[in-house]
Amino acid sequence: MSKPKVLVARAIFPSVLDRLSQHFDIETNQPDEVWPKEELARRMSDKVGAFTTSSERIDAAVLDACPHLKIVANMAVGYNNFDVDAMSARGVLATNAPDVLTETTADFGFALLMATARRVTESEHYLRAGKWTKWNYEMFSGSDVHGATLGILGMGRIGQGIAKRGAHGFGMNVIYHNRSPLTPDLEAACKARYVSKEELLKTADHLVLVLPYSASSHHAIGAAELALMKPTATLINIARGGIVDDAALAAALHSRQIAAAGLDVFEGEPTVHPGLLKVPNVVLTPHIASASVPTRLAMGNLAADNLIGYLVNGKPLTPLNPDILKK
């Protein structure tokens, strides 16, 4: 009996491929090419399953070219590359990889906050350029993290992880805004207080964005929101590109409307707005918040577990559209 066909759309750990090959006839992409939509659809056309990353857009056009497809497993917690409604309409299961990256991503978010507040990369560029010739009392003076007000927009698992690091590790005053407040016990664990979005913007010394991307969160931080922030504030985005209006942010950084920003995600990534590349007061990283070896391996294994769980055992671990399982 032939094995079900599965496409692995990007390079992944050999151990994950070994697991998948025990159950499926897999087509791989270890050279890690980023295929155009037409090529992705062509390669998926005879597959029942696909292993994807956030760079593969799964929309109606791709799905219509793949009549055998039953599941697409994303190796990411975010899934704005999926048109979930279109997948549900065609009976295709969508899964993601939550939880396994929470602590690693929270670690990175706090590292990015600290690097931004203390001007770490800006000062490194200065040193590497041979400009450090003497000490000066205000040379690369940044802002304190300990005891400052930490604002979090989007208080899911990762947001809570950042809140705990700030409150318990650095004695920060934590405020947050979310679609709805946390339960009292979760607020107590984070030492966090719910505020309006306007108060969050006006009060935070360091504002961290951890909300999921959707049509309603597109440009949640734009020119109007940046204008409400303190001129000494920093903005950290580890959520998704598109949540921040990158053009407005570049202008705010250039005019010093806010002090600095730290960005791991960008609109239209891997392309970065040219204005962000020209200003010195920004820390830029290429979407690596979950990039520790143990965590990336766990993400890959969870995506594999979803493929095996659904196609072999009929029980996916983290379905995004579980209603199709009832059909």
- For residue 170, the SS3 value is helix
- Please state the three-class secondary structure of 189-207 as a single string: HHCEEECCHHHHHHHCCEE
Active-site residue, 240 included? yes
CA atoms within 13 A on the CB side of 96: 16
pLDDT digits (tens, 9 = 90+) for 164-206: 999 999 999 999 999 999 999 999 999 999 999 999 999 999 9
CA pair distance 303, 77, nearest whole angstrom: 10
CA pair distance 293, 16, nearest whole angstrom: 13
Name which residue leads in pLDDT, 135 or 327: 135
* Tokens read off for 120: 């770490």
Closest among 269, 309, 261, 265 to 287, alpha carbons compared: 265
**Catalytic site residue from 27, 103, 199, 269:** 269
- For residue 8, the SS3 value is strand
Predicted confidence band of residue 326 (pLDDT cuts 50, 70, 90):
confident
Average pLDDT over residues 297-310: 98
pTM given for the model: 0.93
Our measurement of the distance from residue 175's CA atom to the centroid of its chain's CA atoms, rounded to an integer in Å, reads 21
- For residue 15, the SS3 value is helix
- For residue 46, the SS3 value is coil
* Tokens read off for 287: 């979407």
Domains and CATH numbers, the chain: 5-100+293-326 (3.40.50.720), 102-284 (3.40.50.720)
- At 1 the pLDDT is 73
DSSP label at residue 168: I
Active-site residue, 218 included? no
Name residues whose C-beta falls within 8 Å of residue 43's C-beta, 6 or more positions apart in sequence. 7, 9, 27, 35
Our measurement of the distance from residue 19's CA atom to the centroid of its chain's CA atoms, rounded to an integer in Å, reads 26
In the predicted model, is pLDDT for residue 50 greater than 90? Answer: yes
**In the chain, pLDDT over 70 holds for what percent of residues?**
100
**In the chain, pLDDT over 90 holds for what percent of residues?**
97
CA pair distance 132, 134, nearest whole angstrom: 6
Active-site residue, 287 included? yes
Distances (CA, A) of 31 to 75, 82, 234, 244, 291: 18, 23, 38, 32, 19
Average pLDDT over residues 266-295: 97
Q: In this structure, what are the phi and psi dihedrals at residue 8, rounded to the nearest 5 degrees?
A: -105, 105
Cβ–Cβ < 8 Å for 6, 24: yes
* Tokens read off for 183: 């339960």
**Catalytic site residue from 119, 240, 273, 296:** 240
